[in-house]
Amino acid sequence: MGKKTAVDLWITRLERLSAWSAGALLVINVGDILLGIFCRYVLKSSIIWTEEVARFSLVWLVLMAAGGAYYHGDHMVIDFVVPRLPRFLQKIIDYFKLALSIFILGLMIWLGLMNAVKIWHMKTMALGIPKTIPLMSVPAGLALLLAIFLLLQFRSRKAGISE
């Protein structure tokens, strides 16, 4: 293997951020659910905030893991038509998919951020925290996904040019 480029290092760092944050959120989620079960069935008393923590940590977990899933090729893709097309059409579709992906992720980041910031004054029912905190999972997770996506696209296109 050759020397790692700056792009390779950033891709690795962002994938590790995705994996570690998702792993930490999974531990929080499972721990919270187990605490809720223990309190409800052993202590015969429920803690009101465990359901909210479980829900919010699961949403954050999924969105933070999206970048790592993309890096490892774990997102679903249907690719039985495009490989059968002529090469020039494959290239056109490839650029269209790139532009569409950047547009949709950028739009979701922007709309998610605007939605989250708009409701800073609203509080969650059990935890009493601003609803902005759970809603920031959308722009944060999708921004991480977009960064990994762009870096991987840059790396693959750079490698394609040099071949």
Tokens 């071949």 sit on residue = 163
Residue corresponding to tokens 């991480």: 144
* Residue boundaries of the structural domains of the chain: 6-162
CA 95 to each of CA 80, 125, 132: distance values in angstroms, whole numbers, following the listed order: 18, 45, 35
pLDDT in tens, 21-62: 999 999 999 999 999 999 999 999 999 999 999 999 999 999
pLDDT tens column, 86-134: 999 999 999 999 999 999 999 999 999 999 999 999 999 999 999 999 9
